[in-house]
Amino acid sequence: MTQPPVRRPVLALAAGLSALLLGCRPAVQAPEAQAGRADRPRVVTTFLPITLFTRAVAGDCAEVTALIPAASGPHDFQARPGDVAALKNARVLVKNGLEMESFLDKLVKGAENPDLKVIDSSRGIATLENPEASGEAKAEAHDDHGHDDHGHGHGHDHGPINPHIWLDPVRAAQQVDNIRDGLIAADPACADGYRRNAAAFSGQLRQLNTEFEKQLAPFRGKTFVVLHDFAPYFADRYGLKAAYLVDVPEQNPSPADLARVAETVKRTQLRALLSEPQEGNRSFNALAGDLGIRISVFDPMETGTEESSRNPATYAEVMRRNVTDLVSAFR
C-alpha cells in the first residue's frame, strides 16, 4: 500500500523554514551569551596596555572600561569627578603596578568601595631597578630621582623600580596570566572563559617574542636611544642596551642630558633617535638635526586612540612597528 505523498513536502518545507529561522539566530544568540549574564562584573582598567590585556582576557565575560582616556597617559592623568563613581560601581580594578599609577590610592580611598578587588598585574614578575648611575642610561644631575621638588615629576616620577614591564612580550604574557587569575577569583562563574581567552592571548604574545628574537638577534649588544626611560625591559629581553634623554616625557632635558646622548650616539654610530608618536620633543628633534641623524619612532603604548584601546590586537601591531623601526635605526 502506497504512502500518501502529500506530507513529505510539507515536512520538508517546515524543516526548511526552521533551518532558515535557526540560521538567522546566531546574530541574536551571540549577544544573548553576553546579555544572559546580567551580573557581568564591571572591570575598570588604568591605561592602554592594561586595558588591552584585560579586554583580551575578559572577552564577553566582563564589562571593561578604562579609567584613563586612551589619549591621556598615566604621566599626565588628571582625575575627573566621574572617576570616583566608576570605582565605586566596579567590582574589579586592574593596574600595571610598580608605582606607574601613583594616583590610584587616593581615588580608591575616595570611592569607598570595600568590595573592590584590585588586580596588580605586575605581581611576581621579575623587575629591573632604575639606574642611579650608568654611562648608557640617565644618570648625572639626577640624584633626586623619585622626588617631585624639582618641578618635573608632577607625582609621576618612576620609583626605584622601572614600571614598563608590558614592553617585554614575555612579561606581558605574565601580566595577562595575573589578570586571568584575578578575574577568576572575582568572577568564578566565567572561569573557563577567562582561562580560554588568556591562553589564546598569552600564546600570541609568546609567539610575538619568538618573532622578535629572530629579527633582533643580529643586533645583540647594540645601543638605541629613546626619549624617556621606558625601554629597559624590552632591551633586556633581546640583549640590547637602551639609553634615554629624560626620566619622564614632561621633563625638560638639561645640557648635560643632551651632551650625554650626543656622546652615546657618536660612540655607537646610531643612525636614528627613537621618538614617541605622542611626544613632540623639540630638544630631541634639534639634537637629531645637530648630529645629522634621523628621528624614528618607538611607541611605548602609554597612550593611543579610543579605537585602538578597544582591540587587543593593537599590542602586536604596535610592537611589530616598533621592532621594524628599531631594526631600521640599527641598519
* pLDDT tens, residue order, the chain (331 aa): 444 444 343 333 334 433 333 333 333 223 333 444 668 999 999 999 999 999 999 999 999 999 999 888 887 788 888 899 999 999 999 999 999 998 899 999 999 999 999 999 999 999 998 865 343 444 333 333 333 333 333 334 557 899 999 999 999 999 999 999 999 999 999 999 999 999 999 999 999 999 999 999 999 999 999 988 999 999 999 999 999 988 877 778 888 988 999 999 988 888 889 988 865 567 788 888 888 998 889 999 999 999 999 999 999 999 999 999 999 888 8
Count of beta carbons in the 10 Å neighbourhood of residue 55? 22
> Which grid coordinates are listed for 33?
551569551
Q: Is residue 9 part of a domain?
A: no
DSSP result, 285-328: HHHHHHHT-EEEE----S---HHHHT-TTHHHHHHHHHHHHHHH
Residue reference for cell 629624560: 246
Separation between Cα atoms, residue 258 and residue 286, nearest integer Å: 10
CB 114 within 8 A of CB 95: no
Separation between Cα atoms, residue 251 and residue 267, nearest integer Å: 25
Could you tell me the CATH number of the domain that includes residue 314? Answer: 3.40.50.1980
Q: Is residue 32 part of a domain?
A: no
- At residue 34, the pLDDT reads 42
Q: Is residue 22 part of a domain?
A: no
Q: Is residue 16 part of a domain?
A: no
CB 124 within 8 A of CB 174: yes
Q: Is residue 71 part of a domain?
A: yes
Separation between Cα atoms, residue 254 and residue 275, nearest integer Å: 17
| Residues facing 43 on adjacent strands | 64, 92
Q: Is residue 48 part of a domain?
A: yes
Separation between Cα atoms, residue 297 and residue 212, nearest integer Å: 17
Q: Is residue 293 part of a domain?
A: yes
Q: Which residues have CB under 8 Å from 147's CB, separation 6+? A: 153, 157
Instruction: Note the helical H segments in the chain.
Output: 7-24, 26-35, 48-58, 81-88, 104-111, 169-186, 191-216, 232-237, 255-268, 282-291, 306-309, 314-330
> What residues make up the domain containing 260?
38-121+129-330
- At residue 251, the pLDDT reads 77
Sign of the C-alpha dihedral computed for residues 48, 54, 60 and 63 taken in this order: negative
Q: Is residue 14 part of a domain?
A: no
The dihedrals phi and psi of 309, each to the nearest 5 degrees, come to -70, -15
Angle at CA of residue 45, ends 39 and 48, nearest 5°? 135
* Count of domains forming the chain: 1
